[in-house]
Amino acid sequence: MNEKKYDLEERLLDYAAAIIRLVERMPSTRSGNHIAGQLLRSGTSPLSNHGEAQAAESADDFIHKMSICFKELKESRRWLRLIKRVPLLKPSDVDPLLAETEELIRIFAASLKTARKK
């Protein structure tokens, strides 16, 4: 995730793939499995919801789908922080993905702000 991508669909595809790779390294414990499942859902959701937003039938529909992406990214950030806090994985495994999550949250926040002004 070192190389920054400006094609948001590609960036979200890379993000979802990184989430999957991280989840596959989670410990097979009750808490590890639970958190892995939650992170897998919230971390891969922005890719598909962004695609839905691109095909939105109205400005309100676009804002709604982009809001889902934003909320799912914020949820992913919480799960990643918890993984570090426990810790379930080494911080060095989580930090790059956490940084990308923060950047994506800022991108979606800015997009939503712009869309709501129109």
Q: What is the mean pLDDT of residues 83-101?
A: 98
Q: What pLDDT is stored for residue 103 in this prediction?
A: 98
Q: What is the mean pLDDT of residues 50-71?
A: 97
Cβ-Cβ contacts under 8 Å for 37 (sequence gap 6 or more): none
Is the preceding peptide bond at 87 cis, omega within 30 degrees of 0? yes
Q: pLDDT band at 118, cuts 50/70/90?
A: confident
| Pick from 2, 11, 21, 10: nearest CA to 106 | 11
Where do the domains of the chain lie?
Answer: 8-117
Q: Report pLDDT digits (tens) over 3-40.
A: 554 699 999 999 999 999 999 999 999 999 999 999 99
Q: What pLDDT is stored for residue 101 in this prediction?
A: 99
Whether CATH 1.20.1440.60 fits 8-117: yes
Q: pLDDT band at 2, cuts 50/70/90?
A: very low
Q: Report pLDDT digits (tens) over 33-56.
A: 999 999 999 999 999 999 999 999
Work out the mean pLDDT of the chain and round it to a whole number.
95
Residue 86 near residue 39 (C-beta atoms within 8 A)? no
